[in-house]
Amino acid sequence: MTRLLFERALSPTVPVVGEDSEYPVNRIFCVGRNYADHAREMGFEVDREAPFYFLKHAQALVQSGTTVPYPPGTANLHHEMEFVIALGAPLFRADKDRVMDAVFGYATGLDMTRRDLQQKARDKGRPWDFGKDFENSAVLSPITRAAAFGEVAGQRIWLQMDGTVRQDAKLSDLIWTVPDLLADLSHYYHLQPGDVIYTGTPAGVGPVEPGSRLRGGVDGLAEVELTVGAAE
């Protein structure tokens, strides 16, 4: 018998709303510039030819309601409020008309971003990982089953920081819809149950500070909350 040298990192989980069950998170896909107003505030027009993505490690996930330290290596940590898809079945090379059956449910999430590192990388044509994929950077609410949420339509998506509304839009503002994204991603990956997709943020992103309290929601879903603690 060989022995395991140290304890393996466990897959993080989030609760399912109204159930005594936990959803184990596998991979975290994130969509870039999926709201026209946000693309514009970042200095871009939306690329309507194809969506683009980046990923975060599952270990970057933190459950809603947590206090996390202000992360290292940045002086410009930003909030990005997002609508999140949680898969419950595999998808590979799937057409848009059959991808919705694979959706387990939806959640609200924060794609926390070290904006200074992301922009430096972007300007040099380097990968975004250091700006996007760091500890506690993927905040996720409990998941609501798809049937309980219903159709993705004009639900409001919003974020408050310290009680002030910073982001406020509608899911109908999404450029690439849930079926668009799932069908597209399934042509590049063997999508699996446990894979989650952060669908991009509306306009109004901005910096947070130690002590900031974030609270965000989408009509019909559990809210996501995060408190930013002191830098380590």
Asked if residue 81 lies in contact with residue 159, where contact means CB atoms within 8 angstroms, the answer is: yes
Lookup result for tokens 């990005």? 80
Closest-CB residue for Mn ion? Answer: 111
| Nearest distance, CB of residue 196 and Mn ion, angstroms | 13
Closer residue to Mn ion in complex, CB, 111/133: 111
Helices in 48-188 by DSSP H: which ranges?
Answer: 115-123, 129-132, 146-149, 178-185
d(CA 214, CA 222): 14
| Nearest distance, CB of residue 201 and Mn ion, angstroms | 4
Closer residue to Mn ion in complex, CB, 28/191: 28
Closer residue to Mn ion in complex, CB, 74/201: 201
What is the DSSP secondary structure assignment for residue 10, as one 8-state letter? Answer: P
**Residue among 140, 152, 156 at smallest CA distance from 28:** 140
Q: Which residues contact 134 (CB under 8 A, 6 or more apart)?
A: 60, 71, 73, 114
Closer residue to Mn ion in complex, CB, 142/202: 202
The only residue of 111, 180, 184, 195 in contact with Mn ion, by rule CB under 5 A: 111
Query: With binding defined as CB under 5 A, does residue 225 bind Mn ion?
Result: no
| Nearest distance, CB of residue 92 and Mn ion, angstroms | 25
Terminal-to-terminal C-alpha distance of the chain = 40
- Take residue 24 and report the two structure tokens written for it: 């184990």
| Nearest distance, CB of residue 227 and Mn ion, angstroms | 20
**How many chain residues touch Mn ion (CB under 5 A)?**
3
| 177-216 footprint of Mn ion as x/- string (CB under 5 A) | ------------------------x---------------
> In whole angstroms, how far apart are CA 124 and each of 127, 129, 187?
9, 13, 28
- Take residue 146 and report the two structure tokens written for it: 């798809």
The only residue of 33, 80, 146, 180 in contact with Mn ion, by rule CB under 5 A: 80
Closer residue to Mn ion in complex, CB, 167/201: 201
Near Mn ion by CB under 5 A, which window of 15-23, 75-83, 139-147, 158-166? 75-83
Per CB under 5 A, residues contacting Mn ion are 80, 111, 201
